[in-house]
Amino acid sequence: MRRLISPHFNTRPPSSVVDLIVLHAISLPDGEFEQTYIDDFFIGKLDTSAHPSFAGLENVQVSAHFVVSRQGEITQFVPCEQRAWHAGQSSWQGRESCNDYTIGIEIIGDEKRPFTDVQYTETARLCRVLMQHYRRVLPERIVGHKDIAPNRKWDPGKQWDWARFHRSLVHIQTLNIEVCY
């Protein structure tokens, strides 16, 4: 697993226990799936003059714990024990501030094209490893960004096949990888 360190994180509140995984979708610029701009965005080095759509991203501080590329490669940006800034204003089952108790996984994609086979496999594999470490995270506690910010976010979107993902989650073999550094 590749690791890049994002400066966009902080300490979780002392009473927080990770018990939810939030799946997101991202493409920068919209509809393009190269990871370079996403990496730069999460590590705070995005050249906002590189594309007209980046103008609104000037000084935006966002991160996720992980990104899954179109080829299934996983990059970790924030240690799991830290609070990544992926959820924004959010709530799950009456609990506010989802960043406090979630792991955020960005999957490179959009609402126009299907996600890749390997993205389902590797996202499921990553979730299984996280579920082994965070025993309170159950399959039904893996949700989309749209579920925790329904009036604000759409992702992972209509192209993400939740039934397929859950089948992968059940059948995937986990590897002994260290993700919770």
Active centre residues (catalytic): 106
Angle at the Cα of 98 (from 94 to 102), degrees rounded to 5?
A: 125
Quote the CA–CA distance of 28 and 129 in Å, as a whole number. 28
Angle at the Cα of 90 (from 87 to 94), degrees rounded to 5?
A: 140
Which of 126, 124, 107, 127 lies closest to 115 in space, CA to CA? 107
Quote the CA–CA distance of 37 and 62 in Å, as a whole number. 13
Quote the CA–CA distance of 148 and 94 in Å, as a whole number. 10
- Note whether 168 and 121 are within 8 A (CB): yes
